[in-house]
């Protein structure tokens, strides 16, 4: 599997809103930076996702404008735009922003996300 395929799988698994399906794609020591703060380790990342999912009902989330800055056999970094629309407190809302995902792979192992940074547009 390529880094691009791994990121596409991550995007598909996020759509399930089931962290048990997302977790195997994230390194245990990963650090995620979201607009609500920094989340270090799989337990903190799980909590951040599940809190967000509890607020965003009927969400659709997708990435576009992907730009691979580094793509080697052991490390890859992709910058992109993230987009979403969902129901929040009974009102349809939408948003977008900038994202960066860093993936790492040890010899013979699958790609794992070691860092993600999502922020609103400036």
Task: Give pLDDT, residue 58.
Answer: 93
pLDDT at 84 over 90: yes
Task: Give pLDDT, residue 108.
Answer: 85
Task: Give pLDDT, residue 122.
Answer: 85
Mean pLDDT rounded to a whole number for the chain: 96
- Predicted structure pTM score: 0.93
Range 7-25 average pLDDT: 96
pLDDT at 16 over 90: yes
Range 33-58 average pLDDT: 95
Of 11, 6, 19, which is closest to residue 81 (Cα–Cα)? 11
Of 90, 119, 115, 120, which is closest to residue 39 (Cα–Cα)? 115
Task: Give pLDDT, residue 68.
Answer: 98
Tens digits of per-residue pLDDT, 96-115? 999 999 999 998 899 999 99
In total, the chain counts a number of residues equal to: 122
Query: Please, which contacts does 69-78 make with residues 24 or more away whose CB atoms are closer than 8 Å?
Result: 71/3, 71/4, 73/105, 74/104, 74/105, 74/106, 74/107, 75/102, 75/103, 75/104, 75/105, 76/3, 76/4, 76/102, 76/103, 76/111, 77/101, 77/102, 77/103, 78/3, 78/4, 78/7, 78/103
Q: Hey, is 108 helix, strand or coil? A: coil
Residues 103 and 6: beta-carbon distance below 8 Å:
yes
């Amino acid at each position: 599997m390529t880094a691009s395929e791994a990121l596409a799988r991550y995007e598909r698994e996020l759509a399930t809103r089931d962290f048990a399906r997302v977790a195997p794609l994230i390194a245990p020591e990963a650090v995620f930076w979201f607009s609500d703060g920094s989340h270090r380790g799989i337990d903190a990342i799980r909590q951040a996702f599940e809190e967000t999912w509890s607020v965003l009902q009927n969400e659709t989330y997708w990435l576009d404008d992907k730009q691979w800055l580094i793509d080697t056999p052991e490390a890859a970094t992709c910058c992109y735009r993230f987009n979403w629309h969902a129901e929040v407190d009974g009102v349809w809302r939408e948003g977008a922003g900038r994202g960066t995902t860093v993936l790492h792979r040890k010899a013979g192992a699958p790609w794992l996300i070691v860092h993600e940074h999502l922020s609103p547009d400036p």
